[in-house]
Amino acid sequence: MQQKHIDIHLRPIEALFISIILIGGMSTAIIYYEMIPHIPIMVALMLLIAYGLMKKVPAKELENGMVDEAKSGLGAVLIFFFIGMLISSWMMSGTIPTFVYGALQVVTGEFFFAIVFTVTAVIGMSIGSSLTTVATLGVAFISVSTALDLSLPITAGAIVSGAFFGDKMSPLSDTTNLASTVVNVDLFDHIRNMSWTTVPAFIISFIIFVFLSPTEAIAHFEKITLLKEGLLELNIVHWYSLIPFVILALLAILRVSAIITLSTGIISATIIGLIFNQSVTFKEALSILYFGYESTSGIEEIDALLSRGGMESMMFSISLVLLALSMGGLLFKLTILPVLLSSMKRLLINAPSLMCSAAASAIGINFLIGEQYLSILLTGNAFREHFKKAGLEAKNLSRILEDSGTVVNPLVPWSVCGIFITNILGVATVDYLPFAFFCLLSPILTLVFSITGLTISRKAAS
């Protein structure tokens, strides 16, 4: 039976009004009432369904819109499961405890947050994955910060800033490759052009983190010594514990698929855990991969540090990602997003307004859908031809896609990255948001450069 075409006529003002209601409602519920994001998104879904029925859209079509978009998130769901297992296996093998021990060795009170920012930036660039950096090294630094009684929101802000700097500037990053591909720009031209906004954002962020690092932390060095001794007594801090990380980094550099890379990291860590961690049996190792690693050292800080990971720990994130994607599916089915993008294009009158509109589009999609890939894809496709007609080189657009798309996602409480980071680090998105300086500065700098014309490349007149 032939499917009936659904034709929805939506005015831009109507699409804008609905978007404001949805974003305002979810923001108020999550920030002001401190609700977990699931319920506000469920309410938004029900409101969109009711609106669709009012527009005479069949219920089956609305269901298909939600399901089809949720299917697009299955890849992310699988990655989340693998990362959950990666964390627990790296606890079991001593990989993360060894990172923590190493971090404790280099920690100095007056530069702690700057060290966190710099180290996560380097690691993020080397493996090309912000979420993997957060889930591994980020967990270690949060644990160190907890032990030193330092600010967890600032620590999380430094972790997020460094991880997304690395993700943004790494040729191994999927978002970096996506942004260059969608507008047909050479990958390394794209990365070089991003330096104009990324390097200043990095330097400013580093300076701020230096000033925020408390000098009084030196008084807690006795506690650091106690923690290091406790980690050594567990007999899981060894050089060979870093083998899974080395394998993961090498496979990432060789651009092996994420699933295979993570699987290899999990398997190698589990093998090392079984060989060298005498307290773990094969049956217990399999249980740890699902339920997570539980430390019973008797030292409260160490047990809080090591007891995490497992597939089960990802259920909160996965359920929220599927709900957020379903909401995005309804926004497309009801043509709310396409109408908004189309109306923005009609407002483009010159190069600065064109570039600012592209940035606003990428930011808006992040807040409306909570998905960084869609913010890159939709904005890139919507504005690519307009940049060409305006005589602007495509690498200007690819830079905007990263500055306003990739790094904004972790600042949105209901986004894929925001949900994941909050779950992994145990710090709410709204708490670390004011301290994610690099992520805040990147869109600001791209707007400033767009308005002033600084570093903007134009095509040579033919």
Mean pLDDT of all residues belonging to the chain: 85
CA distances from 442 to 15, 133, 161, 199, 393 (A): 28, 20, 10, 10, 20
Is 215's pLDDT higher than 50? yes
- Give the model confidence (pLDDT) of 388-419 as tens digits: 888 889 999 999 999 999 999 999 988 889 98
Other Cβ atoms less than 10 A from the Cβ of 15: the count is 21
pTM metric for this prediction: 0.78
- Give the model confidence (pLDDT) of 156-202 as tens digits: 999 999 999 998 998 777 788 888 888 888 888 898 999 999 999 99
Which of the four pLDDT bands, split at 50, 70 and 90, describes residue 69? confident
Average pLDDT (336-361) is 80
**Amino acid in position 423:** N
Q: Which residue has the higher pLDDT, 266 or 385?
A: 266
What's the pLDDT at 109?
61
Average pLDDT (314-335) is 85
The gap from C-alpha 218 to its chain's centroid, in whole angstroms, comes to 32
Domain spans of the chain, in order of start? 12-50+58-72+315-452, 74-312
Is 2's pLDDT higher than 80? no
Is 83's pLDDT higher than 60? yes
Residue 50: closest CA among 334, 265, 245, 288: 334
Helices H / strands E in the chain, number of each: 24, 0
What's the pLDDT at 3?
44
Residue 399: closest CA among 360, 456, 340: 456
- Give the model confidence (pLDDT) of 294-315 as tens digits: 988 887 767 877 888 899 988 8
Return left, alpha or beta for 272; rule: phi > 0 is left, psi -120 to 50 is alpha, else beta: alpha
DSSP calls for 171-193: TT-HHHHHHHHHTT--HHHHHHH
Rg (CA), the chain: 23
Q: Is the dihedral of CA 318, 320, 323, 327 positive or negative?
A: negative
Residue 409 to residue 118: CA distance in whole angstroms: 21
Average pLDDT (148-163) is 93
